Amino acid sequence: MADKVLMKGNEAIAEAAIMAGCNFYFGYPITPQTEVAAYMAKRMPKIGGTFLQAESEVAAINMCIGVASTGKRVMTSSSSPGVSLKAEGISYMAGCDLPALIVNVQRGGPGLGGIQPSQSDYFQAVKGGGHGDYHLFVVAPASVQEMVSLTAHAFNVAEKYRVPAMLLADGTLGQMMEPVVLDNITVEEHDKSWALTGTKMEREHNVINSLSMLPEELEQWNIDRFKRYEAMEEQEPMWEEYEMEDAEVCVVAFGISSRVSKNAIMAARAKGLKVGMIRPITLWPFPKKVLRAAADKVKAFVTVEMNMGQMFEDVELATRCLKPVLKCNRTGGCIPTPEHVLSVIEDAFNVGGEQ
Amino acid sequence: MGEVVFKKPHSLTDNQFHYCPGCTHGIIHRLVAEVLDELQIEGRTIGVASVGCSVFTYNYFKCDMVQAAHGRAPAVATGVKRSDPNNIVFTYQGDGDLASIGTAETVHSATRNENITIIFVNNAIYGMTGGQMAPTSLPGQVTQTSPYGRDVKTVGYPVRICEMLSELEGPTYLERVTVDNVKHVNAAKKAIKKAFQYQMEGKGFSLIEVVSTCPTNWGMTPEKSLEWLQENMLPYYPLGVYKDKYAEKEDK
C-alpha cells in the first residue's frame, strides 16, 4: 500500500492521469484549473511525455484528437468558459469514436462568470455541449482521493466503449488539499486496431472520420453508437448510498455539494429526522435505477446543487415524479451551507407528509 | 507487351475524385501521392483532411487519414506528430480553412516549427459551399457574398499567407507554387518533395501554397480559369520561396 500524501485536487488529477498511462497533455491557462497544466509542465518532460501549451482551448482539444487518433491516452483540462470552446472538438471526438479525458474544474457562469466554484456545467456535460446526438462518460468526484480513482477509471471506460470521458469537478475540489493514496490504478488494455499507426504497407488504411453524406449511413453510425451507450447505461452507473436504510427523505447531490449535504444529514439525524443520500458518481450514465427504487420508499427528494437546478431535472425524470423533489441551490460561486440544506430537508418532511 | 510509362501512384486509392472538371485538386493530389511513393513513406504517413472541397481526401490517399474540423488540421496534425515523431504528417487545406477560420492554428503551428507539412490550396474562393468570398479573394473579385466585388474598404484585403508566415522565426520552409502549366507542375512537385524530405530529416515546419483555380465557382471554363489565374492571382500572389532555412547549405 502506497503512502498517504497531501495533494491539491488539480495536482492529484494530473498525477493520476500520468499513472493511468496518459503521456500527452494539451491545455491552456484558466482559473481555477491552471495547476493541472503547471503540474503536467513539470512532470511530463521527466517521464518522456508531452506537455504543450496550446494557442487556444480549441487548438488543445484538436491536438487531443490527433493523439487519440493514434490510439494513445491523452488529456486536456480547463474550466467552464474554456470547456465551451472545446465543445466543437468534443463533438468531433464523439463522432469519431475517440477515447480521451476532458477535465472541467467548474467555475461560475454563464459568460465569463466568475472564478469561484460552481456546478453549473451539469447540462453541458451530460446533455451535450457540442452539436449532434452523443453522450460523454461523465464522472463527478467528491474528494481528492476520488479525483485520483475516477481519473484512472474514466480512461479505462473511455477506451472500452470508444467514447470521450469528462471528469466534472469544481473549483473547490480543484483547489483544496486532502491526503490521498496514489494506488489501485489499473490500466486496462482495449482493442486499438482502429488507430492511425501508419499502414506499414501491411493493411488497408484506417480512417478517423465523422462525416457521411448518406443519411442512412450516418443514422446507422448513430444507432451503433447508441448501442454502446445502452451498454454503458446497463453496466457503468456508479453511486454512493449514505444512511439510506431507513431514510424517509433522500438527498441527491454530487461532487462538493454532497460533502456539505453529509453534514446537513448528520445534523438532521441528530434531530431525529430519518434522512439519507444517494450521491451520483457517474452523471452520465445517471444512476436511474437506484433513484427509481428509492422513490418507492421515501416521502420526498432534495437536490443540492451549485447551480439553479440542473441535475434536479434528471432526478424528476429518474423518479418519474412519483415523489416531490425540492431544490436546494446556490450559484454564481456560492456554496450552500449545511444549515441551508437542513432547512430544505425539514421542508421536505413537511411537503412529503402532505402527500 | 508495351512498357508502362505512366500509371496511377500507389499512394492514391482507386476511388474516383469528386472534384469538378478542370479543378486543380486532382493534379495536387497526384503530386503529393507521387512524392509519398518516391520517398517510400506511404506506410508511415498520416494525412489530415480539412473542411472544404478537400474534405474527402481521406477517400483518395492510401495512407492512414484523419478528418479534422474546419481550420483545425494543424492542431490535429500536431497531436498526431507528437504522438510518434516517426510518423510523416501532412495536412491538406484550402484557403477558407487555413487562412480564415484556422488562422490561429496555422500561425502557431508555424511558429512552433512543428515538424509537419502543410499543403495549402489557394483558389481565392469557398468552393464546397458554392462560391463565397474567401480570405484570399482578390480586390474587386465577384463572389456570392461579394456580389458587387470585394470592397477592400469594408471587408479588407486578401491575406498573403507565405509572406505573413515568413516574418516568423519558427517555420523552416515556405514556398508558393502553381500548377497552371507543365513547368509549374514540375516545380510544384519539387517543392512538395522538398517539404516532405525536410520533415523526414526533422528540419521542421513546411507550407507549400499552391495557387489554384475554381472554374465552377469562378464561372469560367477550365482554360479561361488558368488565364485568369495568370493575369490576376499571380501578380497578387507571386510565386517563389519565401523562407528556406536550409537553402544555402543545399546550394553549396
Closest residue in A to B114 (Cα) is A52
B14 lies in some domain: no
Other CB atoms within 10 Å distance of the CB of residue A339:
11
Contacts with B75 from chain A: Cβ below 8 Å: 54, 58-60, 62-63, 65-66
Tell whether A209 and A282 lie within a shared domain: no
Terminal Cα-to-Cα distance of chain B (whole angstroms):
44
Q: Do A67 and B82 touch (CB under 8 A)?
A: yes
Query: How many domains does chain A fold into?
Result: 2
CA distance A209 to B145: 30
Backbone angles phi, psi at B141, to 5 degrees: -70, 130
Tell whether A202 and A230 lie within a shared domain: yes
Please determine, for residue B250, whether its predicted confidence score (pLDDT) is greater than 60.
Answer: no
Is A72 near chain B, with CB under 8 Å?
yes
Distance from CA of A51 to the nearest CA of B (A): 10
B168 lies in some domain: yes
Contacts with B64 from chain A: Cβ below 8 Å: 196-199, 205-207
Q: Looking at A235, A267, A295, which one is the last position of a domain?
A: A235
DSSP B53: G
In this prediction the ipTM stands at 0.96
Closest residue in B to A90 (Cα) is B69
Residue with cell 505512366: B6
Q: Over the stretch B63-78, which tens digit does the pLDDT of each residue have?
A: 999 999 999 999 999 9
Contacts with A211 from chain B: Cβ below 8 Å: 55, 67
Three-state secondary-structure class, residue A199: coil
Terminal Cα-to-Cα distance of chain A (whole angstroms):
51
Tell whether A183 and A66 lie within a shared domain: yes
Tell whether A164 and A251 lie within a shared domain: no
Q: Taking CB atoms and an 8 Å cut-off, how many pairs form between chains A and B?
A: 128
Domain span at residue A73?
4-235
Tell whether A85 and A14 lie within a shared domain: yes
* pLDDT of amino acid B14: 96
Three-state secondary-structure class, residue B156: coil
* pLDDT of amino acid B252: 46
Which chain B residues touch A if contact means CB-CB below 8 Å? 13, 42-46, 48-49, 55, 58, 61-69, 72, 75-84, 87, 104-105, 107-108
Q: Over the stretch B134-178, which tens digit does the pLDDT of each residue have?
A: 999 999 999 999 999 999 999 999 999 999 999 999 999 999 999
Tell whether A144 and A281 lie within a shared domain: no
Contact yes or no for A176/A212 (Cβ under 8 A): no
Q: Do B62 and A199 touch (CB under 8 A)?
A: yes
Three-state secondary-structure class, residue B6: coil
Across the interface, which of B55, B66, B82 has its CB nearest the CB of A208? B66
B143 lies in some domain: yes
Domain span at residue B198?
25-246
Three-state secondary-structure class, residue A101: strand
Residues in chain A with pLDDT < 70? 1, 352-355
B198 lies in some domain: yes
Q: Over the stretch B110-128, which tens digit does the pLDDT of each residue have?
A: 999 999 999 999 999 999 9
Query: How many domains does chain B fold into?
Result: 1
> Does a cis peptide bond (omega within 30 degrees of 0) precede residue B21?
no
Contacts with B87 from chain A: Cβ below 8 Å: 70, 198
Stretch B8-13: mean pLDDT, rounded? 97
> Residue A331 belongs to a domain with what CATH number?
3.40.50.920
Q: Do A62 and B61 touch (CB under 8 A)?
A: no
Q: Over the stretch A108-144, which tens digit does the pLDDT of each residue have?
A: 999 999 999 999 999 999 998 999 999 999 999 999 9
Spell out the alpha helix ranges (H) of A105-238. 122-127, 144-161, 171-175, 215-235
Q: Looking at A201, A235, A269, which one is the last position of a domain?
A: A235
Contacts with A198 from chain B: Cβ below 8 Å: 43-46, 63-64, 87
Give the residue among A133, A63, A131 at the shortest CA–CA distance from A102. Answer: A63
Q: What is the CA A30 to chain-centroid distance, rounded?
A: 18
Distance from CA of B76 to the nearest CA of A (A): 4
Distance from CA of A260 to the nearest CA of B (A): 40
> Residue A75 belongs to a domain with what CATH number?
3.40.50.970
Residue A159's contacts (CB-CB under 8 Å, 6 or more residues apart) are A73, A99, A188, A190
User: For the whole model, what pTM was predicted?
Assistant: 0.97
> Residue B139 belongs to a domain with what CATH number?
3.40.50.970
Residue A316's contacts (CB-CB under 8 Å, 6 or more residues apart) are A325
Q: Do B79 and A55 touch (CB under 8 A)?
A: no
Distance from CA of A205 to the nearest CA of B (A): 5
B15 lies in some domain: no
* pLDDT of amino acid B232: 98
B203 lies in some domain: yes
Distance from CA of A200 to the nearest CA of B (A): 4
Across the interface, which of B55, B76, B82 has its CB nearest the CB of A65? B76
Q: Looking at A192, A219, A235, which one is the last position of a domain?
A: A235
Q: What's the one-letter identity of residue A137?
A: F
Contacts with A207 from chain B: Cβ below 8 Å: 58, 64-67
Tell whether A168 and A255 lie within a shared domain: no
CA distance A296 to A244: 13
B195 lies in some domain: yes
B174 lies in some domain: yes
CA distance A72 to B113: 23
